Chains A and B, each alone.
Chain A
Amino acid sequence: KAGVTQTPRYLIKTRGQQVTLSCSPISGHRSVSWYQQTPGQGLQFLFEYFSETQRNKGNFPGRFSGRQFSNSRSEMNVSTLELGDSALYLCASSSGQLDEQYFGPGTRLTVT
């Protein structure tokens, strides 16, 4: 089985721009979660999608949004980028809400 894939792997943006990150889950997995990882805050939950519906949302501002398509692929969008948004964004898929998470390699976003 192919693992979770994320594109792009690296991204450099300037403040005020917006960015869209993509995640393709493991085949058959309908749950996709997004996490932000920074050295200071660790792994923080952004949101979870299941069957194209946002099932859970973490404590992030509305500039962070996401969606899931009928094939379970997911995208997340960050608008009006701030320097503090620089982080590794990880996507994880699972077969159920409380099941083990399979993480992708992440997208390293740098905001200058």
Chain B
Amino acid sequence: GQQVMQIPQYQHVQEGEDFTTYCNSSTTLSNIQWYKQRPGGHPVFLIQLVKSGEVKKQKRLTFQFGEAKKNSSLHITATQTTDVGTYFCAGPKSHSGAGSYQLTFGKGTKLSVIP
């Protein structure tokens, strides 16, 4: 079936190091969304990318959407302990046709930051 693959599954970094998670789709996506879920919490929307090759920044977070709109990445510069959590990408996938879409989530990358 249509899937959104995300790697790596886990990432342990020393505080101050950079972190990147990658998201890949087998089909072209109309947009891609990124969410963060803190331990014990619920997913919180971070950003949506729509255009081919789009790059957006939020402070230390940089989001990219690939030229083919099949892959995306989230890069965090100089991680802090507040960055701990699981980062999910999600893309709309059509399962039943007729313009009907559902948001399909990657399995997430769990980030641990060692102080």
The residues of A with any CB-CB pair to B shorter than 8 Å are: 33, 35, 41-45, 48, 55-59, 90, 92, 97-98, 100-106
Interchain CB contact (< 8 A) of A103 among B42, B100, B106: B42
- Taking CB atoms, residues of chain A closer than 8 Å to B107 are 41-42
Interface size for chain B: under 10, 10 to 19, 20 to 34, or 35 or more residues?
Answer: 20 to 34
Q: Which residues in window 39-64 of B have CB below 8 A to A?
A: 41-45, 48
Inter-chain contact A98/B108, CB cutoff 8 Å: no
Interchain CB contact (< 8 A) of A104 among B42, B92, B106: B42
A selection of 26 A-B contacts at a CB cut-off of 8 Å is: A33-B102, A33-B103, A35-B105, A42-B88, A42-B105, A42-B106, A43-B43, A43-B105, A44-B105, A48-B102, A56-B96, A56-B100, A57-B96, A58-B102, A90-B43, A92-B43, A97-B100, A98-B31, A98-B103, A100-B33, A100-B48, A101-B33, A101-B90, A103-B42, A103-B43, A105-B42
Known: A56-B95, A105-B41. 16 other contacts (CB 8 A): A42-B88, A42-B108, A43-B105, A43-B108, A45-B103, A45-B105, A48-B102, A57-B96, A59-B1, A97-B92, A97-B101, A100-B45, A100-B48, A101-B35, A101-B43, A103-B42
Query: Is B80 among interface residues, defined by CB-CB distance under 8 A?
Result: no
The residues of B with any CB-CB pair to A shorter than 8 Å are: 1, 30-31, 33, 35, 41-45, 48, 88, 90, 92, 95-96, 100-108
Interchain CB contact (< 8 A) of B92 among A55, A58, A98, A105: A98
Interchain CB contact (< 8 A) of B42 among A57, A59, A106: A106
Interchain CB contact (< 8 A) of B44 among A41, A43, A56, A103: A103
Among A56, A92, A106, find the residue whose CB has the most chain B CB atoms closer than 10 A: A56
- Taking CB atoms, residues of chain B closer than 8 Å to A35 are 105
Interchain CB contact (< 8 A) of B103 among A59, A101, A102: A101
Do A98 and B101 form a contact, CB below 8 Å, given A56-B95, A56-B96?
yes
